[in-house]
Amino acid sequence: MPLQIVIGAQWGDEGKGRVVDLLSERSELVARYNGGDNAGHTVTVGEHIYKLHVIPSGIIHPRTVGVMGSGMVINPQTLVEEMSMLRAAGVTLTPERLWISDAAQLITPAHRLLDRAQDAALGKGKIGTTGRGIGPAYVDKASRRGLRAGEILDEAAFSERVRAHFAEVSRLLVELYHQPALDADQLLPEYLAAAAELRPYIRRIGPLVQAALAQGQTVLAEGAQGTLLDVEQGTYPFVTSSCTTSTGVFSGLGVGVQTVERVVGVTKAFQTRVGSGPFPTELAGEAADFLRGSGANPWDEYGTTTGRPRRVGWRDLVLLRYAHEANAFTELFLTKLDVLSGLKEIPVCVAYERNGKQLATLDFSGDARLLEQCHPVYQSLPGWDADLRACRTWNDLPVAARAYVEFIEKTIGVPVRTISVSPERLAMIQRG
């Protein structure tokens, strides 16, 4: 009954989409269990670059079933757009191969407006959200007034509920945030039309996933965002509003814990972040430009969802160890090793200095204010010049690149089983 889990070990954008693409070849179900269309997962197959925001990336393989779990927040309008985009790219999407949990929460245009108004009102302290309405939708869930996907099935009652929700948010927008009132008559028809399209896809997910596992099928859980954006374990308050770590899989899909076979932590060869919040190894200037890229390559560090330039920095092993502790990774998948080619030396953060003391592990729960006080202690590893993009075996890699990988796995105590060297589907090195 194998449940396999793919988790971002950093602040998101680690390359989870390509890892899911690899593992879903041998999976029957591929399931998203958290977040919504704040995610942007890239899968590169030849000339074709798929960018998925809300549908599980594994749907690209024709034999898989894509599952959208109860832990998600789903905007029917962006989901319907993504379904059209995938169909235009030749992906078959039927109710047999896309299942939406009746317990998943719905995002509305009102949530999006509120998200933007609330983040803007924070001024300098803003989170830098993706503006997709994620936070407000999870607030409604926790305060027990959220709209659930199952409600779409009762057309008249759903329309009333959405109208009442629009009226409530409108009051907030006008009174608290001095924004224009919401025009429900304009927004409602399009929203209801998109929601109605989802009707045939809505199911009770838990029993279906449990049955698949009981039959020995492989279920792949596709994490969105990354460990350091987890609402509890992440760099709070500069986080998203869902559980992004491996523990979220169980509540987000409605399955028990006894079935986990593999927890793959995906991590880049360096560190990136979009949005605000502490980033101890962040770089500016030439080194940053080198890691980020100019934007000329599709893999350069500009957000998949928002197009924002990503903040970049050296590999932080204190935070990777922290991520391992939060997720219990059974293996690591290291992406973008190719980007480091050409550096003479590669600094790696092995500890922090805080209040005159050295810390090799975090002694607090990600708290942003405390992390701001941490200064990186670097160890420099030798770099390499060779272009890695054609490497396909461990021995193809230069000695220094192998030493870099070995340094990471020894420090964290988790094997790096796979290394990728370009976005292309097969451009990777698998180690036994």
Which residues in 79-98 contact ligand GDP (CB under 6 A)?
none
Distance CA 353, CA 375 (A): 5
Nearest distance from residue 53's CB to ligand GDP, in Å? 10
Partner from ligand GDP, ligand IMO, Mg ion, none contacting 335, C-beta within 5 to 8 A by type: ligand GDP
Q: Which does 114 bind (CB under 5 to 8 A by kind): ligand IMO, ligand GDP, Mg ion, none?
A: none
- Indicate which residues carry an active-site annotation: 13, 41
Residue 122 carries which DSSP code?
A: T
What does DSSP say about strands 416-420 and 428-430: parallel, antiparallel, or unpaired? antiparallel
Min dist CB 227 to ligand IMO, Å, is 11
User: Is-contact 218 209, C-beta < 8 A?
Assistant: no
Backbone φ and ψ for 145, nearest 5 degrees, come out as -125, 15
Task: Report how far residue 32's alpha carbon sits from residue 156's, in angstroms, rounded to the nearest whole number.
Answer: 29
On whether the CB atoms of residues 154 and 191 are closer than 8 A, the answer is: no
The amino acid that residue 59 corresponds to is I
- The residue from 32, 41, 111, 354 that contacts ligand GDP (CB under 6 A) is 41
Find out whether 224 and 35 touch, Cβ atoms under 8 Å.
yes
Q: Which of Mg ion, ligand IMO, ligand GDP, none sits in contact with 336, Cβ below 5 to 8 A by type?
A: ligand GDP
> 275 touches which of ligand IMO, Mg ion, ligand GDP, none (CB within 5 to 8 A by kind)?
ligand IMO
Number of residues engaging ligand GDP in binding (CB under 6 A):
23
Nearest distance, CB of residue 282 and ligand GDP, angstroms: 18
Residue (4 or 304) nearer to Mg ion, CB: 304
> Of residues 400-429, which lie at the interface with ligand GDP (CB under 6 A)?
420-423
Which residue number, 45 or 208, has a Cβ lying nearer to ligand GDP? 45
What is the spatial distance between Cα 298 and Cα 423, in angstroms, rounded to a whole number? 9
Told to check if 223 binds ligand GDP by CB under 6 A, we report no
Residue 420 interacts with which of ligand GDP, ligand IMO, Mg ion, none, CB < 5 to 8 Å by class: ligand GDP
- In the shown chain, the binding pattern of residues 20 to 59 toward Mg ion, with x for contact by CB under 5 A and - for none, equals --------------------x-------------------
Instruction: Report residue 47 CA to chain centroid gap.
Output: 24
Of the pair 41, 354, the CB lying nearest ligand IMO is at 41
Which residues sit at the interface with ligand IMO, rule CB under 6 A? 8, 11-13, 38-41, 127-130, 132, 134-135, 224-226, 229, 240-241, 274-275, 304
Q: Under rule CB under 6 A, which residues in 246-305 are in contact with ligand GDP?
A: 298-299, 304
Cα separation of 80 and 68, whole Å? 14
- Within 4-23, the residues that bind Mg ion by CB under 5 A are 13
Cα within 13 Å of Cα(156), Cβ side:
0
Reading the block at residue 2, the tokens are 């194998």
Q: At 380, is the secondary structure helix, strand, or coil?
A: strand
Binders of Mg ion among residues 304 to 333 (CB under 5 A) are: 304
Could you list the beta-strand ranges (E) of 124-248.
202-203, 219-222
Q: Give the residue with the Cβ less far from ligand IMO, 209 or 266.
A: 266
Number of C-beta neighbours around residue 90 at 10 A: 9
The verdict on 335 binding ligand GDP (CB under 6 A) reads yes
Helix (H) or strand (E) holding 370: helix 368-371
Residues in the chain: 432
Stretch that binds ligand GDP, among 10-18, 90-98, 175-183, 278-286 (CB under 6 A): 10-18
Pair of tokens at residue 155: 């057309």
Name every residue whose Cβ is closer than 8 Å to that of residue 84 and which is 6 or more positions away in sequence. Answer: none
Q: Which of 4, 16, 50, 58 is the binder for ligand GDP (CB under 6 A)?
A: 16
> Helix %, strand %, coil % for the chain, to 5?
40, 20, 40
State the nearest-atom distance from the C-beta of 230 to Mg ion, in Å. 15
Is residue 37 within the footprint of ligand GDP (CB under 6 A)? no
DSSP string, 244-278: -STTHHHHHHT--GGGEEEEEEEEESSEEE-SSS-
Binding site residues, ligand GDP, CB under 6 A: 8, 12-18, 40-42, 44, 298-299, 304, 335-336, 338-339, 420-423
Chain residues in the site for Mg ion (CB under 5 A): 13, 40, 304
